[in-house]
Structure 1
């Protein structure tokens, strides 16, 4: 049966402008990082993606290495585009990234022009697209001149293969420099994608989010639930079927140590007092900042997606609630910060 989008899909979603650009994103965007790889069948993927679009989620975020295995998320999304989403391409914002290891040898990762542009061509082929809406440098490369990395992003725009470009996990100094270089090339830094949550505040601590606000760069937060920690599911000690089940995965033992889980318990009390799930409170908190364009969620099930979208019913936080969250999470911070090796993304 051919997918037909819900005519009421724009009735409840809210949209925010990305920095000073003309691009608007839904306040909740859907990422395909870890849940849309080789083990996800087409009906299961389409159930989630179709429902998201029916609720006004117009932004789908990918990267060359998303899976597992690497590349499989883009391949799956490409099948969805070809079979069901093609009539709605102009209503969608599709993003991809390059920066992490994709193929053997010296040209398969980091920030060289050779790697970024070859990777973009591969991503377009996997997704069956002529262009992406946003192309990111996925991580700062300390060994490649930033002029080269930003030059590759500018070329992607000027060649028509990307409408906008962004950076991901860049610290404050490199964010400012990337913006300056791109501006000199006549290209805007439209968006920054850092990790950010109430227990991971590195973009506040090193002033990256303030720099984005000052420079007119939009911000879309990945891992606003701290990879599920802020859902409360790890407080029960049950790891089966979660990211905590894999000792070599992206969730570290330090992310679920007792002081962190104690903070999560306190946040749960605040959520219950608001009549929200913990997930919804965590998203409300991320979206409270005026610099924040969107919160990027990742879900395994349709039920998780519906829970996340429930944030639209209560986005406002009082000063007292924000202060209570600050106090609850003070001793539960994950102490994350971008490093050359980057996040496991």
Structure 2
């Protein structure tokens, strides 16, 4: 995703090494899941697994990790990366503001780049990297996009990325930002471009602006889960389907609330506790219980069920955040099978009875 939301404030402020990671997995590459679990991002040629890994929590000390980052958490994040690769996941999403500045101990981009390099020293792996431009008020024009992108390259230790996204719409200058995305494609710096937290109107405008240059808008990354279905209600999901834009779903397990891990007597810590309160979790328990029951019928965990529910919506790539190998391995188990239509609809119906949590405010603009 992006920034912390709900009853909390959201943290807005947060040499080229020559190492180049190929964007598209080789057709001859063998993974434990195979090519059937990969899709193209929108109309681009970038091919990724149907489920990616979000790196929002890596290095963060403002929203995740109980306000601290240490060697133990670093080791766990590296193990999450390796477990993902071992399980066939090739898509990792980060951003320049994750873990950067006052929001964290070390930038998530820096960590991801380090993990890739360390893994590449052992064996050749195919990694699709996505990162994001922060539309900060003092950034103006298309040049600011290219400048920020090159800074991201430096932190990642890469000479290109597969997907470069506008993290949120700016207060002003959005046409210039879109021009910057187009310039990045034409200069061969990125293979595909996308947006994040864009409303239907903003999405269509960005799509049209890039289309004039013959460049597809590959994706829109938005908050989307079984209990946060605003993209269905505000026209974003339908527009993505119509225009051939992949919807990348952040917070797909509702930041852990849908996994069964949290209860009214055991709410999440930190800022998440202000969103997923004991009162909210109490109302959520019947749905969580039913998710668990359905999962038992498939031999799957609640986490795997809710991730598969999103994949069943078609044209959706969920990117849950993995802080350790155990989580990454569990996420991989959401691939390679599908919920029956009756179960998809039952879960939708049950979830509709729960008032959703607050989303990222700019998605309504």
The answer to whether TM tops 0.5 is yes
The aligned residue for residue 326 of structure 1 is 348
Contact 1:30 1:59 in 2 (8 A): yes
Counterparts in 2 of 1:89 and 1:254: CA distance versus 1, 3 Å: farther
Q: Does 1:279 align with 2:300?
A: no
The aligned residue for residue 39 of structure 1 is 70
d(CA) in 1 for partners of 2:346, 2:306 = 13
Contact 1:107 1:114 in 2 (8 A): no
Counterparts in 2 of 1:235 and 1:272: CA distance versus 1, 3 Å: farther
The aligned residue for residue 20 of structure 1 is 43
**Structural mapping, 1:333-344, within 5 Å:** 333-340=355-362
Correspondent of 2:142 among 104, 110, 113: 113
The aligned residue for residue 205 of structure 2 is 177
RMSD over aligned Cα atoms = 2.8
The aligned residue for residue 140 of structure 1 is 169
Q: Does 1:30 align with 2:53?
A: yes
Correspondent of 2:32 among 3, 8, 11: 11
**Structural mapping, 1:1-345, within 5 Å:** 10-13=31-34, 14-37=37-60, 38-39=69-70, 43-67=75-99, 68-69=103-104, 72-85=107-120, 91-99=126-134, 106-107=137-138, 112-113=141-142, 115-141=144-170, 143-235=171-263, 237-239=265-267, 244-247=268-271, 251=275, 253=277, 256-292=280-316, 294-313=317-336, 315-340=337-362
Secondary structure of the residue that 1:234 maps to in structure 2? coil
d(CA) in 2 for partners of 1:9, 1:213 = 30
Deviation of the 1:280 alpha carbon: 0.6
d(CA) in 2 for partners of 1:20, 1:95 = 16
d(CA) in 1 for partners of 2:166, 2:45 = 21
If the length of structure 2 is used for normalisation, what is the TM-score?
A: 0.79
Aligned residues: 323
Counterparts in 2 of 1:333 and 1:26: CA distance versus 1, 3 Å: farther
If the length of structure 1 is used for normalisation, what is the TM-score?
A: 0.84
Secondary structure of the residue that 1:246 maps to in structure 2? coil
Contact 1:196 1:224 in 2 (8 A): yes
Counterparts in 2 of 1:216 and 1:248: CA distance versus 1, 3 Å: closer
d(CA) in 2 for partners of 1:300, 1:130 = 26
Contact 2:182 2:215 in 1 (8 A): yes
Counterparts in 2 of 1:153 and 1:88: CA distance versus 1, 3 Å: farther
Question: For structure 1, which runs of at least 5 residues remain unmatched after alignment?
Answer: 1-6
d(CA) in 1 for partners of 2:363, 2:248 = 21
What's the CA shift string for 1:261-310, capped at 9, x where partnerless? 44323333332333321101001100002222x22121222111111111
Counterparts in 2 of 1:255 and 1:319: CA distance versus 1, 3 Å: farther
Contact 1:199 1:329 in 2 (8 A): yes
d(CA) in 1 for partners of 2:141, 2:265 = 42
Contact 2:135 2:169 in 1 (8 A): no
What's the CA shift string for 1:42-63, capped at 9, x where partnerless? 5433322122112211111110
Counterparts in 2 of 1:255 and 1:120: CA distance versus 1, 3 Å: farther
Question: For structure 2, which runs of at least 5 residues remain unmatched after alignment?
Answer: 1-27, 61-68
Q: Which structure is higher in RCO with an 8 Å CA cutoff and minimum separation 6?
A: 2
d(CA) in 2 for partners of 1:251, 1:9 = 41
